[in-house]
Structure 1
């Protein structure tokens, strides 16, 4: 019979002995006192974090990862949750989910809840923290990482993203290589960095190919299915409609599918469509969707591992990580019809 192993928290005296300092010095670091040498502070903070203590207010760290979504959408969010869960499971951590209801930063009530829960760390998806919120978390030693930041997170903010510009370029170049020249775009919200980058990649591909940018072929969406449908109906009823459309994400691409069906257009015979994300449903729609794969699960897992490393006192050499996108060709794209 295997013997059960019982662990206990290290005392401050044991941490002091391990760090080679006095117990009062450990107490000063734990309570945020300034009269400690920087090298000593760093060594003690690393040990405090490893053993689950937090500065300023003391107390044990909860074995939790806070996962905050800009909007909690099922298909997209499931891939992110899966990645965070992969990392959390290995560390014996649980996940707390919350949503900022479309705001670029969560409200003060969320911050108050985090400070009360004292999680190991926070992963924010398509959102961020304002200066006051950042200072509050830093004051309690709670690290955070932004995944796919909506705006510029700042040089000192750890962030994990993907090569959105490259993805927009690859999607549009694929359609150009098939022979399309009237290529529409259904972009995402202009305030989001990922959306702007994908649009810039679209424009760059047109410019490289010598195809003039036509604003009449561009519509703004909100990354939801219905906005893809509405924008699709507008584009596909133009007097000189596009023969292909790059949708800013897979949900908008599916909305475009619906618009094409309503107008009696066939995909890809009458209209080629490229999405962005490569959600599992992209493989099962008819026809299967050509799309740009952004590795959502890997991005989320990377963000979770980064925040866990920060909680242990790690000092990553690079605070910005961008994982590569790739084009996945399926049945929704073909050369334009002739005649």
Structure 2
């Protein structure tokens, strides 16, 4: 017979369950898939299992899930962005168990991994402004979470840097980001002074924008240029392929797991650790200069054939 130790008895003796909890906004978001895979690989190599859940960007749901994870006696937590996130709440959690912030705000002696969304949005917007676009729309989750706040700041600063007036109506940030993209983009395209370019998160927001462009009879990049924030299969496989702001998702997951493992194995107090991941603009086929007709007069909506 092969002896297998009793996991419950072992956890009572060692005060460790060998389980780590990870909360993200949406498990269906393809940008999280590679992060989760990398986290799981690092933890498994160290003898830990991973417990996953989605917050759906709801602060109350996040608190409920954290309470549930703690009752299950997880050894540590990795927490992704969530609306209403408070650094002091994360610091309070870290008193009892190791916590790593995944692209969310944190303070004190805690640890986290941040993507440089500010400079990424700044670079992407500069690129479109240099192509002659002055009516650029940004569709992103709102400023209540760090990624949205940083993107909006970089986007606005690119306009200020270039001395180009920014119409505040072109910044569309919502809590329910996955649901609003199609209607918001279609509304913008139907306005008298429609945008000539979109910068949008490369998940279902990008899908919604591309669907709205098709409904409005606009071609990419002939009529409208598009930049995706985050590189997904859709960005690569869509025709024309979408210029994308990308970062190493696997490296983000690996770094988050390594930060947590260091805190799980600590023998003394640790100082704050923050890892900043840089972004890169991958140029493809979805961007071009403003069409001359669009640059001189507003575009009228095409009428259906009789």
What TM-score results when the alignment is normalised by the length of structure 1? 0.75
1:257–1:115: structure 2 CA closer, same or farther, 3 Å change rule?
closer
1:261-276 equivalence runs, <5 A: 261-276=214-229
1:33-82, CA deviations, whole angstroms, 9 ceiling, x for partnerless residues? xxxxxxxxxxxxxxxxxxx98xxx97431222211123332413312211
Instruction: Assess if the C-alpha contact under 8 Å between 2:94 and 2:110 holds in 1.
Output: no
Aligned length: 287
Q: Distance in 2 between matches of 1:117 and 1:104?
A: 20
Instruction: Assess if the C-alpha contact under 8 Å between 2:76 and 2:264 holds in 1.
Output: yes
CA RMSD of superposed structures (Å): 3.0
Q: Give the unaligned 5+ runs of structure 2.
A: 294-306
| Secondary structure of the structure 2 residue equivalent to 1:62 | coil
1:321–1:234: structure 2 CA closer, same or farther, 3 Å change rule?
same
Q: Is 1:62–2:10 an aligned residue pair?
A: no
Counterpart position of 2:186: 233
User: Out of 133, 136, 139, which is 1:186 matched to?
Assistant: 139
| Secondary structure of the structure 1 residue equivalent to 2:34 | helix
Q: Distance in 2 between matches of 1:185 and 1:132?
A: 30
1:6-17 equivalence runs, <5 A: none
User: Out of 284, 289, 292, which is 1:330 matched to?
Assistant: 284
What TM-score results when the alignment is normalised by the length of structure 2? 0.83
1:147 Cα deviation (Å)? 0.1
1:195 Cα deviation (Å)? 0.5
* Bigger RCO (CA 8 Å, 6+ sep): 2
1:281–1:92: structure 2 CA closer, same or farther, 3 Å change rule?
farther
Looking at CA atoms only, which structure, 1 or 2, has the larger radius of gyration?
1
Q: Is 1:147–2:93 an aligned residue pair?
A: no
Instruction: Assess if the C-alpha contact under 8 Å between 2:19 and 2:51 holds in 1.
Output: yes
| Secondary structure of the structure 1 residue equivalent to 2:165 | coil
1:313–1:172: structure 2 CA closer, same or farther, 3 Å change rule?
same
Q: Give the unaligned 5+ runs of structure 1.
A: 8-51
1:268-287 equivalence runs, <5 A: 268-287=221-240
1:224–1:121: structure 2 CA closer, same or farther, 3 Å change rule?
same
1:155-174, CA deviations, whole angstroms, 9 ceiling, x for partnerless residues? 33311111011011011011
